Structure 1
Amino acid sequence: MRYQFVGTSELTQTPAVAVVIDVMRAFTVAAWVFARGAEKIVLASSEDEALALKRRHSEWIAVKDGAPSDGFDEVNSPARIAASDLTGRTVVQKTKAGTVGALAVADAPLALCASFLVADATARFVRAHQAEQVTFVVTGDDGRADEDLACAEYIGHCIGSDSVDVAPYLQRARYSDAAADLTEGLHRGYKGIHVDDVDYCLEVDRFPFAMLVSREGPLTVLRPVAVAVE
């Protein structure tokens, strides 16, 4: 199996198999959304689209990057989402990097979103499909974010092996620019960050599901898919 690692802007064609990575924080949040009982996540292309969906479906939960703002129910913080009861709910998510990458490959025959929390399940799901090539879409910093690259490389190695030491990959993520930015934002009192967000993003293989992207009518939807232990 061959791998390539690209930024969202570097996608020149729709890959056969795509794994979209956003560790801090979109797909760590997404994993917790499903762990807290949500049925699906609708990926919005803009904040305006997210708010329009919320107006049409008042029972849906709208989540965005940044500080809290009118019309949105929650911010893109895994620690805050982990404290929510989302049983049976639909969540609309808009972020500046992760959801953009997912929308870019939504027409792929197989597209998954991932973070460290679902790394092993994602690797096993991809392995079961016996793909010839996997395109990892590294969404942070236009393909250069080390926390996303580390997670992508870890998943890639897990596809080919059942005994991969995650410690070096987690260390890269912990000392990444994104982790530093979250910590600095917290110190400045930025209201879109929880004190535990970085630690939540560095949990490994917490959940036994992969997260599958698909088109459902006019919507791009993310759903959890249980992956059996081999």
Structure 2
Amino acid sequence: MFTGIPDAPAAPEVAVVVDVMRAFTVAASALRRGAERIVFAGTRREALALKARNPGWLAFQDGAPVPGFDLANSPARLRSLDVRGRTIVQKTTAGTAGALAVADAGLLLCASFPVAGATAEVLRRAGARTVTFVVTGDDGRAEEDLACAEYIAALVRAADTAPGPYLERARRSAAAAELAEAVRRGWTGVHPQDVELCLEADGVPFAMVAGRADGHLELRAFDQPVPRLNSPYDRWC
């Protein structure tokens, strides 16, 4: 099942929330660079309040840079930050909103092209009967997110599925064009390499599992044997 955020069921058995450009590409890169976890915030005010209450936490958001935030959701600009051992609070209009919309899923994965292969492997091993893919951009119509979701679904069926056609759809998407135009105009918060980093398929060796902890929805890297569905979150991470 492929759906946008407004039509997503509140508690699907398994949900894969997809945001390619750029929330979950940034999340995958941050976790690969050693971030401990990513906490999703519902609003920018909540994100900044969490950062203020927890010295050492970082805060990421989408759009133009906002005072108080450490990154404007750019995977290329992330490389200048030391995130090792840090907790990151992330607020975006698509990716984190989609995850929060299906926070009660039995198994909740967040995905982009870099973690596509690892995500498909978790789905295969979990043996899910049905999977809800939440295409977060443009009310479920974002071509880059839909292409990534369909690639993951294809990988579940056939592990040797080639990423090329799906990446090409994403490369030609409106989101990619908008990022390229933002770079051309010299807007802050974007980087010329962002699109290409978002299109590096299967380069991250772990999936990203989300679950509730300490009153928040948080995301962690997951590269362990898959337990049964509906297991408590602390057994996943």
Aligned to 1:204, which of 201, 204, 223?
201
Post-superposition shift, 1:227?
5.1
CA distance in 1, matches of 2:172, 2:9: 31
- 1:22-56 Cα offsets, whole Å, 9 max, x none, are 00000000000101110000000000000100110
Q: Is the 8 A contact 1:121 1:227 kept in 2?
A: no
Q: Which residue matches 1:226?
A: 223
Structure 1's unaligned 5+ residue stretches are none
Q: Secondary structure at the residue paired with 2:183? A: helix
AA aligned to 1:141 is D
What is the number of residues matched between the two proteins?
A: 225
Q: Which residue matches 2:15?
A: 18
Q: Secondary structure at the residue paired with 2:76? A: helix
CA distance in 1, matches of 2:162, 2:205: 19
Aligned to 1:99, which of 96, 100, 119?
96
CA RMSD of aligned residues (A): 1.0
TM-score (norm 2): 0.93
Post-superposition shift, 1:84?
2.4
AA aligned to 1:196 is Q
Q: Which residue matches 1:126?
A: 123
AA aligned to 2:110 is C
Q: Does 1:27 align with 2:56?
A: no
Q: Which residue matches 1:150?
A: 147
- Written as runs of structure 1 = structure 2, the 5 A alignment for 1:1-230 is 4-226=1-223
Percent of paired sites with the same residue:
56
Q: Secondary structure at the residue paired with 1:223? A: strand
CA distance in 2, matches of 1:80, 1:35: 15
AA aligned to 2:73 is N
Q: Is the 8 A contact 1:208 1:227 kept in 2?
A: no
TM-score (norm 1): 0.96
- 1:168-191 Cα offsets, whole Å, 9 max, x none, are 100000000000000011111110
CA distance in 2, matches of 1:36, 1:81: 10
Structure 2's unaligned 5+ residue stretches are 226-237
CA distance in 2, matches of 1:154, 1:176: 15
Runs of at least 4 residues of structure 1 off by over 6 A?
Answer: none
- 1:89-134 Cα offsets, whole Å, 9 max, x none, are 0000011100000111111110000000000000000110100000
CA distance in 2, matches of 1:13, 1:38: 28
Which moves more between the two structures, 147-156 or 69-78? 69-78
